[in-house]
Structure 1
Amino acid sequence: MNVKDFYFDLPEELIAQDPLEDRSSSRLLVLDKHTGEVEHKVFRDILSYLKKGDCLVINDTKVIPARLFGTKTDTEAKIEVLLLKRKEKDIWEVLVKPGKKARPGAEISFGGGLLKGKIIDVVDEGNRLIQFSYEGIFEEILDQLGQMPLPPYITHQLQDKNRYQTVYAKHDGSAAAPTAGLHFTKELLQQIKEKGVEIAHVTLHVGLGTFRPVKVENVLDHHMHSEFYMVEESEAEKINSAKKQGGRVICVGTTSCRTLESAAGEDGVLKPGSGWTDIFIYPGYKFKILDALITNFHLPESTLVMLVSALAGRDYVLSAYEKAIQEKYRFFSFGDAMFIQ
């Protein structure tokens, strides 16, 4: 399977730079995974596609303001640090720019010394381990000094950082938003519940590997980044119960999908628990628990295009993407949505 099999030509002007004022007014392309048939709707129309007895699975991770700007203590050189994973209480794995100024032993000051960091090691892919020191509560300092880690293709400044959070974000830990969830409002979620649809919460802390391009020619040679997930017993029961009673399990976003497919057994039963997953889903994969998916439009040749192609077939997906481009849908994180059923 060649990475070029998942290429499509996307005009740059279709990359959404800003979120819409009303989250649920994005457009929605509905794709029938069995026939390839496409419908064009508005996101709030998702309500008419959900049925009593279905279970909607949402990822309640919260994006942390993970981008920090500081200066090297000895030279005053400017340094940008992006928090990726908390390894221990005050030790984080980070991306540093420029890397050559962040050798082990380098000390960095943020916010005039409100937060200090010392590089203690270089790890995989040139990432660094940094040990922070501060007075007070780390999360409060980070909220004060940090910026939202928007994807590299978004060049506009985000006016309201809550617009890069879902309305149900709860557990701090992501370096990127589970963007399919950005389309939901509290009102829409309430209407979904009132229709008799169960809503189950899972948590997967999204890593920046989500945006990492596939650099190998053969898809099977690609190594996925690992991400931390949690499935509570009560939520696993909701999902298993819906499945048992003939309802559909509908994941909001590829992150919810990866969580369920990682935590489910071969028998299609979801097991509660937590751990790290580096699951890679591409065509040929047999889904254990997921029936349908709400997702955004993804980057050409990305692992996420491969995941949706595993669900609906590469030809149907690329044909739907072609129609979306013709109809001038907005792409990527702040873009429009797709429902694969």
Structure 2
Amino acid sequence: MAASKPKILITRRLPESIEARMAMLFETDVNEADAALTSDDILHGLAGKDVLVSTITDRIDADLIGRLPPSVRLIAQFGNGVDNIDLEAAWAAGLTVTNTPSVLTEDTADMAMALILALPRRLVEGTQMLLEDRAWAGWSPTSMLGHRLRGKALGIVGMGRIGTAVAQRARAFGLNIHYFSRSQRPLAVETPLAATYWDDLDAMLAEVDIVSLHTPLTRATRHILSAERLDRMKPGAYVINVSRPELLDEEALIDRLEQDRLFGAALDVFENRPGINPRLLALAESNHVVLTAHMASATMEARIEMGETVIVNIRTFMDGHQPPHRLLPEAPTPRAART
């Protein structure tokens, strides 16, 4: 008799090709409505299931983890970020958690570079001006003046895969590369980029014109760009965030933009709240901020690679092996056995 297929719950719609491949390999239950599920919806859908295929819109906290059916042994996150999952509670409950790292590097770096270009050259503002003023008078020597990128200093916070990819793109545009990271990168990385390493983030912030955030979110990096650090930046500097909203003190950033202490910001992520902060939207309307709809990884290629990585994690786990993208909490506690 053939072994039964693993039973999985997929909480959001995935690319058609990925859903079709999962349906061949697993017994799948997909949230056809493609809206964020409540905790009770997730629990109901997981009855008799082996695997939860989650996304960043699912809040998998300690309370939910404590109520999961005993059949569930794996949470396979469709995405790199796992801020929505209580990793410590999952570990303590004997659950394995995986994610999909590496596949988002190029797309996220492209988006960061696009925003680095958009801010000083006022690209969004120029587009909106034409749409709003159908009787545009045409070119003027003093119209829509922005700032040149070449020769400006870019400060990258977190020089991992994505930070390095951003540095490579930025260097091609003539930006001077500075970075702060947990450790200095090898000369093989630094030399082609002419990159300057700073072991003091405060000191780097005072010297650069653009700050781009690419560090993972941990207890130590939450609000790494705090109110105090925003005050250390040059007057007229820019902030870019395509990483995690919690890396940035959003309220403090808004205050400083409203006071014209910074030139602008470009954000692809925002603090969790019902909707976007109205003050932030007002700043976007006045062209102090560029806002994009969490689009950094939104390419068909990335989504398909993410899905394939989820499949690899599930198959490896269900075959009795450690999945390649297993995650551990920052400080593991004794864990329970889950059978």
In the superposition, the TM-score normalised over structure 1's length comes to: 0.30
Report which of the two has the higher share of helix: 2
Which structure exhibits the higher relative contact order, with contacts defined as CA atoms closer than 8 Å and separated by 6 or more residues? 1
Report which of the two has the higher share of strand: 1
